[in-house]
Amino acid sequence: MAGEAQDPKVWPLPKFYFSVDIGDQQNLAFQEVSGLDTETQIIEYRAGNSSTFSTVKMPGINKVGNVTLKKGIFVKDNKFWDWYSQIKMNTIKRVPVVIKLLDEKGGATMVWTLQNAWPTKITGTDLKSDGNEVAVETLEIAHEGLEIKNA
């Protein structure tokens, strides 16, 4: 990798053109998406008859972090609050969430799919009498798996 020459016609993808699908709601507009990460826990093990005085590191259970979505608040747009309010005694509608990084023509170049996603936290906007920013709400989504594909 380090010794290969970079193709001058290939550029890194910009990160500002993306879309989000939540369940059957398509092309939702968000200001920011963060938390698209996965991690493998480390198991440290040393056999009792090992001649070295150190542990061996092995891969353990995979875990994924929560994904945070930020968007502007619109009049009479309570979709996220309605979805969040469905949580009752460990029952919630779990849906796939698809996040697509788009090229200049609007085609997907990378696609992240969150399996069995559900809202774990909603944060409303902060209010300031002397501010002039857009009101932004934050939706934090828990999920059970992250799949990444190149389109």
Spell out the domains of the chain, with CATH numbers in brackets.
18-150 (2.30.110.20)
Q: What is the pLDDT of residues 69-105, one digit of tens each?
A: 999 998 988 888 888 888 877 788 899 999 999 998 9
CA angle 62/102/3 to nearest 5° reads: 70
- Classify residue 90 as left (phi > 0), alpha (psi -120 to 50) or beta: left
Quick check: helix, strand or coil at residue 84? helix
Amino acid, res. 144? E
Q: Which two tokens stand for residue 94?
A: 């779990």
Residue 7's pLDDT band (cuts 50, 70, 90):
confident
Residue 1's pLDDT band (cuts 50, 70, 90):
low
Q: Which two tokens stand for residue 81?
A: 């609050």
Question: CA-CA distance, 17 to 40, in Å (whole number)?
Answer: 29
Q: According to the model, what pLDDT value does residue 3 have?
A: 64
Predicted TM-score (pTM) of the model is: 0.82
Q: According to the model, what pLDDT value does residue 89 have?
A: 72
94 - beta bridge partners?
A: none
**What does pLDDT average to over the chain?**
90
Residue 51's pLDDT band (cuts 50, 70, 90):
confident
122 - beta bridge partners?
A: 139
Q: According to the model, what pLDDT value does residue 63 have?
A: 93
Task: Say if residue 2's pLDDT is above 70.
Answer: no
Q: Which two tokens stand for residue 115?
A: 């399996």
Task: Say if residue 4's pLDDT is above 80.
Answer: no
